[in-house]
Amino acid sequence: MYKVFGLFFIIILISSCSSPEKVQVPVHWKGLSNKLAREYAFSLGSLAPEYVAAMGYRRFDPQVTAFSRTLDDERYIHAYKWQKRLTSVLEEAKHPEYITDARILQESITLDMEEIEVERAVGVIPFIPLSDYVYGNLQTLIFDDAPRSKLNAAMKRFRTYVRGDKKQLPLSDGIKSYMLSKMERLSEKRMRGFWPLRKEVEDYLLESDAYLEEIHKLLSKWPSKEWERDFNELKIQDSEYREFLKKKVLPYTRKGHILPAQYYSHLLKQRGIMMSPEKLIETGHADYKKTYQDFEILAKKLAVKHKLSSSHPVSVIHYLKSKKYASDAEILKAYQKASEDLKSLVKKKRLFTLGSTLDFQIRLATPGEMKSTPSPHYRSIPLVSKTKEKAQFVIPTSEGQEGLDDFTFHEAIIDLTAHEAVPGHAVQFHAMKERGVSYIRAWFASNSVNTEGWGLYAEEMIYPHVGPEVQFVILQRKLWRMARMFLDPEVNQGKISYDRVEEVYVKELGFSKSWAKVEFDRYSFIYPGQAPSYYYGYKILMETKEQVRRKKDTILDEKCFNDAVLDQGLLPLTEIKARLVRDLNCVDEKPSSNL
């Protein structure tokens, strides 16, 4: 449902080789593909304008999603019509790359239809946190150095959230109507349904005022005070919405974390994971156990080197954390230095073609960002925007969440910069714009597996070129993603509780208790089914690399392989694997390819 809810759920939510030589594909297929993407985006904009605006189509910046009793029906009808159209497109299309894009768009729409079908079958009662939702969707328009046109659009968007217009209710009323229609459906069918987790609703009731404060800070960037009346009205609406939640939702919320099997399987598929929960658990446990042995071996070496009294991996992590940076200025400087050092490393070791125009701002998170996303994260610029904006690498402050000390020490900063910036997401998303990847491959093909798989692969990319302390933290973070592969499904199947999550992260890996709580909430209600995607995607990339390496008469060149992956945009990793294994040849830095 993320396309309807806008960017609240997304932080996210993303050349030629001396790398593979590209066959000069006629321009027309990409032109046709982008035309198809635009037409679909513009039609979707009537139902999910915030989502389409995030692509860079500025006409949708002032518009808002019209929550109503009929929203799901409208979404389903829209998707059905586009399914029929894309079936006709595929019957007539001739160029294989255009066919690939049309198929990807059709599969994306199929997932949207399946989401509505599964939610109806299970009886899902959605939970939309009003103030957090408004904050997230204003934040994309109001930022430092935002052009006046963006601020104007933000004010119109905010005004419509509060007042509604001729075509829609104010957001709070629309959300209530949307939720009530689903409750009535349950009553008609005499179903218990699947209600929000009690903790999710209780957290919102406690934290909504904090998000209202962050909205106030955003709106204060507007030169006049004309927004104050609407803001005061929003506060009243949010107070009424909280009363609605207390009376109509809270008494029926679930206390357990078990997700219906059909629903959880769909969530995995939506993230790009084509593996059963049971197989995820089996694979995650096996790889975690094996890699933990390497973790222990390196811990012993570092304990000797630094003359530590204990060689347990957790003790070594705590020793490294003890040298964390104390001030925001120090943290910012350390992340900036890590970024420049990694750019130099990429060039020196010829890891891939680093675009000459790669540019992003590294900045400290606001209090609101620390609350919603306490870990470092990357915000890419809109795909088709012509507005001068800088991508942003948002980093945690020294205060952070209470007890959270996992992202502000030297070795962690290098690892996280590799994941989020260089050679990770900053490179990944910049390459798509610089290399002219089609809109469908850069946007509608996107899922957690193909974005986060590259992020974890980026950490692995720098592993051979850094010191043992940084390698140790990279191993810790790799184990973290392996653990996610089994902990997420185990939590959602009711096999484990928070205590087991804390045991893995705190007692085995050395993370803070605060981070263990963040992880547990992530699996339970924030983003269930997403956490396994990092290691799942990473494994596909590593398998692809190994199969290319084994090809006859091939000497794998790192730069050649990595450029070839970046050239594909966000194609499904299984598709990238098939293409590279079939067509990529990197021999003595004189690669040839049919890609």
CA distances to 11, 121, 175, 266 from 245, rounded to whole Å, are 26, 23, 11, 27
Nearest in space to 455 (alpha carbons), one of 493, 487, 406, 422: 422
pLDDT value of position 2: 39
pLDDT surpasses 80 at 588: no
Whose structure tokens read 């409750």?
A: 183
Residue 87 has pLDDT above 90, yes or no: yes
Q: What is the torsional sign of CA 414, 415, 416, 422?
A: positive
Distances (CA, A) of 38 to 58, 94, 102, 307, 381: 13, 20, 12, 61, 18
- Global pTM reads 0.93
DSSP secondary structure letter of residue 58: G
The alpha helices in 439-557, defined as continuous H runs, are 439, 448-462, 468-492, 498-502, 513-521, 533-549
Shortest CA distance to 187 belongs to which of 244, 123, 255? Answer: 123
Residue 546 contacts by C-beta under 8 Å, 6 or more apart in sequence?
none
The predicted-structure confidence for 475-514, as pLDDT tens digits, reads as follows: 999 999 999 999 999 999 999 999 999 999 999 999 999 9
- Cβ atoms of 352 and 429 closer than 8 Å: no
Q: Using 50, 70 and 90 to split pLDDT, how confident is the model at 587?
A: low
**pLDDT, the chain, mean:** 92
Q: How far apart are CA 299 and CA 278, in angstroms?
A: 31
- Percent of the chain past pLDDT 70, that is, above it, reads 93
Ranking 34-38, 268-272, 357-361, 507-511 by mean pLDDT, the lowest is 357-361
pLDDT for 348-357, tens place per residue? Answer: 999 999 987 8
Structure tokens at 142: 């109001």
